[in-house]
Amino acid sequence: MRLPSLSRASLERHLPILEWSKTYDKDTLTSDLVAAVIVTIMLIPQSLAYALLAGLPAEMGLYASILPLVAYAIFGTSRALAVGPVAVVSLMTAAAVGNLALQGTAEYAAAAITLAFISGMILLVLGIFRLGFLANFLSHPVIAGFITASGVLIATSQLKHIFGIDAHGHNLIELVTSLFENQHLTNPITLFIGLTTTGFLFWVRKGLKPLLLGLGLKPRLADILAKAGPVGAVVVTTLVTWVFGLADKGVKIVGDVPMGLPPLTMPSFNGEIWSSLFVSALLISIIGFVESVSVAQTLAAKKRQRITPDQELVGLGASNIASAISGGYPVTGGFARSVVNFDAGAETPAAGAFTAVGILFAALLLTPLLFFLPKATLAATIIVAVLSLVDFSILSRTWKYSKVDFAAVAATIFLTLGFGVEIGVSTGVALSVLLFLYKTSRPHVAEVGLVPGTQHFRNILRHDVQTHPSVLTLRVDESLYFANARFLEDYVYDRIAGDQPVKHVVLQCSAVNEIDMSALESLEAINHRLHDAGISLHLSEVKGPVMDRLQRSHFLEEMTGEVFLSQYDALVALTRPDLADDIEHEEKRAAE
């Protein structure tokens, strides 16, 4: 039975797999399989490493890289976004769950699973009710500052594995202090493995592919081998540790990693646990969504494709719920692996599903081989991955462009490094909202005049323009709402105070897209006060939707002046015949 077109469109909107699968062919399958192989090779060591970063058993990283990828392939709209464990979310998971249970306990793992479920539900609800716009309140410079600080924290937290010592702490001061106090316990063999692996992985990122191309390998094969660098490090260091019995010499290893399918798990529905984790889950959801959408939109634009942010919320929500029921922890779209997925030629989200099959194969067959894998190798993998996220240039760029944004970024970085990830991200979110309110509460209002010989109006402080002493024209460059309504009142009152010639005030509303009830009451107050002073209030260039709402109120009936189609019409009507004479004089001079 053929579905009605409306139902089919609705289904495709909510299940994007129905849209892209219609044109799926052999060439697309080949591209997706090649991309899946490359991303799988990259994801296996990363998944293990990020799970350990979150304080969880290594296998949970693999579990979080299987079913979530399948869920995103069904519900996600990005053709290239690769979902799974990421460094920042892993760090945030450790910070959130660490408040409830000790690492290594069953309660700790259960709390991480519950955190993924709560995060998934939050994202799902936001997506269903199309509330993705809420993420717009999170300033991108603040997010960049948080990620930079988190990258420093993550890299520092992994130095204990590079040195083979115990060190703990939730902020940079605690971590550095703990590392310094225990540095005398450094294991030389572990340090050698850690430093060698780190150096090798840094070289692989830049130097291996050109070397392979120079040896005559084809670009696609050279790219696959270059991406396999971390796997090569895992294989070599595991073999060396096993052959030489380095575990008996103090080298810490991953140990037993259970082999088999991801377990069927259920989150806790304990109210106390939910209340303890809810704020952290909300922050993880917001940070993960903002970064995922940023990456997805960037990659989609390169192929002139588009994503649907609200449906992305559903896709990420489904992925986190899938992670929670399969023994995983919170996931989101990863920047590095998404870029690799895109560069490897992924055409559809099916590449992610094929990647899940590869990770499943590793979980079923390869985990016993990881017993002697040094934790220093995984730490090196994390350090190399997260240092690419560190970008302190955001400080210099915001300093040059906006001192207010610089203060927000600097505060976010400082608080994250000094007091931990939860305080840092909470402050970042709060600062983003406060910055928005601050900026819009003081809208730019310009006094404008007529550019000679034209019908254009510009700021009197920036251009040589014509004005009339009886007409004050103010251009409001912001929508009017409760936070800035009083500012406009004060601005108008201050401007007309003592200015006797002014008989008309015209508010040019070309940039006003919204006037809420508070702003309407302010306009009414301005109208009454100007009337008492013998001054008429006029509006010009009011947009249709704004005018529709004004017409539903009594304001236009009570307004002492008129509403003009354009500012030029207002000036001509209010200054005749003076302006007409000036215009005629300018036209004659131009003709001469």
pLDDT tens per residue across span 30-80: 889 988 888 888 888 889 999 989 999 999 999 999 999 999 999 999 988
CA distances to 42, 91, 352, 591 from 334, rounded to whole Å, are 12, 14, 12, 64
Write down the pLDDT at residue 4.
Answer: 46
Burial (CB count <10 Å: 0-12, 13-18, 19+), residue 272: exposed
Mean pLDDT of 546-554: 94
CB-side neighbour CA atoms (13 Å) of 300:
20
Does residue 283 contact residue 92 with C-beta atoms inside 8 Å? yes
Query: Which residues on adjacent β-strands are paired with residue 471?
Result: 468, 504
**Helices (DSSP H) in 388-484: which residue ranges?**
393-401, 403-419, 421-441
DSSP single-letter state for residue 455: S
Write down the pLDDT at residue 407.
Answer: 86
Write down the pLDDT at residue 7.
Answer: 60
Dump pLDDT digits (tens) for 512-540.
Answer: 999 999 999 999 999 999 999 999 999 99
Q: Which residue has the tokens 């991309």?
A: 35
pLDDT over 70 for what percent of the chain? 95
Q: Are strands 563-564 and 536-540 parallel, antiparallel or unpaired?
A: parallel
Q: Quick one: pLDDT band at residue 134, thresholds 50, 70, 90? A: confident
Residue whose C-alpha is closest to residue 512's, from 444, 435, 438: 444
Q: Quick one: pLDDT band at residue 319, thresholds 50, 70, 90? A: very high
| Phi, psi for 445 (deg, rounded to 5) | -120, 120
Does residue 168 have a pLDDT over 80?
A: yes
Does residue 581 have a pLDDT over 60?
A: no
Dump pLDDT digits (tens) for 378-395.
Answer: 999 989 888 888 889 999
Q: Quick one: pLDDT band at residue 404, thresholds 50, 70, 90? A: confident
Mean pLDDT of 300-317: 88
CB atoms within 10 A of CB 28: 18
Write down the pLDDT at residue 38.
Answer: 82
Write down the pLDDT at residue 1.
Answer: 41
Does residue 79 contact residue 333 with C-beta atoms inside 8 Å? no
Least-confidence region, from 171-175, 242-246, 301-305: 301-305
